[in-house]
């Protein structure tokens, strides 16, 4: 039998950035509301699966380390991240796994060495604010745009616990990120077309859930402007000053810069995990599957 009551977790430390995310908020792009949702859907789905939740159930998505949370009642949770290590009270654990946190227990993320984003899922789910069908935190939509130190989040406390599971996730081999041409790609001169994705580009540390900033191209493209049009997550924008951005899940819904390419849907999650400061090689796929 499952008994459930409401319990609270208190955020003791947020690390650089942490937020509640779920599968996303759909149907409101025409109001300028982006889809938001997990940066790495596959990894979040794994976290949810480890506690028996639907794959798009809300999780706490956190960047790197130092997230720290105290649980008012016992909680069956999963932490998913490549070679993540964390502590519960004084005990240290490493690797992706589901685990029972005792009443009053403090979870702290110690390190996430290779990736940007990792996930905390909880059996029963987070009861944070839901707006327009989603709990994904988003500035201008939800009351809070991210987790803040000291805040509390309600969750469903249950007595039912399935087995603790752990999964060994290896670091993925580096592969090119596939790109399909965007509407304004053909407006670039041939020489720019050849040059723009030729060399690896660095993902700037100024990147975030709105946009990944790419460094290393920097060639001015005079008059590279359009009338503001749709920019899905994964749009690669090129400004007239030669700056490049990949718009991510919380990115602007429309934009006036050239859309020179779109990241292949299958590769957006992998791109989101490339550490800030590392380089990425894009590869243009000319034959698009329609």
Partner 1 sequence: MVNGLEKYFDRTFFVPEGIICWPHVSYFDAMVIFVSLKQTPFDEVIFGLDSISFINFGKSQKEIVDLIFQHFKDFNPKQENSNKIITHEVPIYYDMNGKDLAALSISLQMDKEEIIYKHQHSSLQVAMIGFLPGFIYLKGLDEAIISNRKKIPSPRIAPGSVGIAETFTGIYPIQSPGGWNIIGFCPIKLFDVQKKPAVNLKIGDDFRFYSITAQEYAKLNAHG
CB 134 within 8 A of CB 109: no
In the bound state with partner 1, the residue whose beta carbon lies nearer, of 169 and 187, is 187
Instruction: List the interface residues with partner 1, window 6-25 (CB under 8 A).
Output: none
In the bound state with partner 1, the residue whose beta carbon lies nearer, of 151 and 285, is 285
Q: Is 228 in the site for partner 1 (CB under 8 A)?
A: yes
Binding to partner 1 by CB under 8 A, coded x per residue (else -) over 109-128, reads --------------------
Angstrom distance (rounded) from CA 8 to CA 21: 18
The SS3 assignment for 190 reads helix
CB 50 within 8 A of CB 97: yes
Contact region with partner 1 (CB under 8 A), list: 85-93, 110-118, 214-222, 228-236:
228-236
Nearest residue to 249 via CA among 261, 229, 232: 232
Please compute Rg for the chain using Cα positions. 20
Q: How far is the CB of 279 from partner 1 (least distance, A)?
A: 24
Among 11, 20, 138, 246, contact with partner 1 (rule: CB under 8 A): 138
Q: Is 132 in the site for partner 1 (CB under 8 A)?
A: yes
In the bound state with partner 1, the residue whose beta carbon lies nearer, of 132 and 202, is 132
Nearest residue to 280 via CA among 216, 235, 231: 216
Q: Is 180 in the site for partner 1 (CB under 8 A)?
A: yes
Q: In terms of C-beta density within 10 A (0-12 exposed, 13-18 middle, 19 or more buried), how is residue 3 classed? A: exposed
The SS3 assignment for 1 reads coil
* Per-residue DSSP letter, 11: E
Binding to partner 1 by CB under 8 A, coded x per residue (else -) over 250-289, reads --xxxx------x-xx----------------------x-
Q: Which parts of this chain interact with partner 1 (CB under 8 A)?
A: 26-27, 29-34, 131-132, 138-141, 180, 182-183, 227-230, 232, 234, 252-255, 262, 264-265, 288, 290
């Amino acid at each position: 039998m499952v008994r459930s009551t409401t319990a609270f977790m208190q955020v003791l430390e947020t690390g650089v950035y942490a937020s509640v995310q779920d599968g996303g908020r759909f149907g409101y792009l025409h109001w300028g509301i982006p889809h938001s949702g997990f940066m790495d859907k596959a990894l979040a789905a794994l976290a949810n699966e480890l506690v028996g939740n639907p794959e798009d159930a809300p999780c706490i998505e956190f960047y790197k380390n130092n997230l720290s949370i105290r649980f008012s009642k016992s909680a069956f949770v999963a932490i998913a991240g490549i070679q993540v290590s964390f502590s519960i009270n004084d005990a240290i654990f490493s690797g992706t796994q589901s685990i029972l946190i005792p009443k009053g227990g403090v979870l702290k993320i110690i390190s996430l060495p290779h990736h940007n984003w990792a996930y905390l899922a909880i059996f029963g789910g987070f009861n944070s604010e839901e707006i327009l069908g989603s709990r994904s935190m988003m500035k201008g939509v939800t009351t809070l745009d991210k987790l803040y130190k000291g805040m509390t989040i309600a969750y469903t406390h249950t007595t039912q616990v399935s087995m603790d599971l752990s999964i060994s996730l290896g670091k993925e081999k580096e592969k090119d990120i596939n790109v399909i041409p965007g509407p304004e790609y053909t407006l670039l001169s041939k020489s720019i077309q050849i040059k723009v994705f030729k060399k690896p580009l660095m993902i700037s540390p100024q990147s975030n859930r709105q946009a990944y900033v790419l460094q290393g191209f920097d060639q001015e493209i005079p008059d590279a402007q359009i009338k503001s049009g749709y920019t899905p997550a994964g749009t690669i924008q090129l400004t007239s000053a030669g700056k490049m951005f990949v718009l991510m899940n919380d990115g602007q819904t429309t934009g006036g810069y050239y859309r020179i390419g779109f990241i292949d849907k299958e590769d957006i999650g992998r791109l989101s995990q490339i550490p800030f400061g590392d380089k990425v090689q894009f590869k243009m796929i000319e034959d698009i599957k329609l």
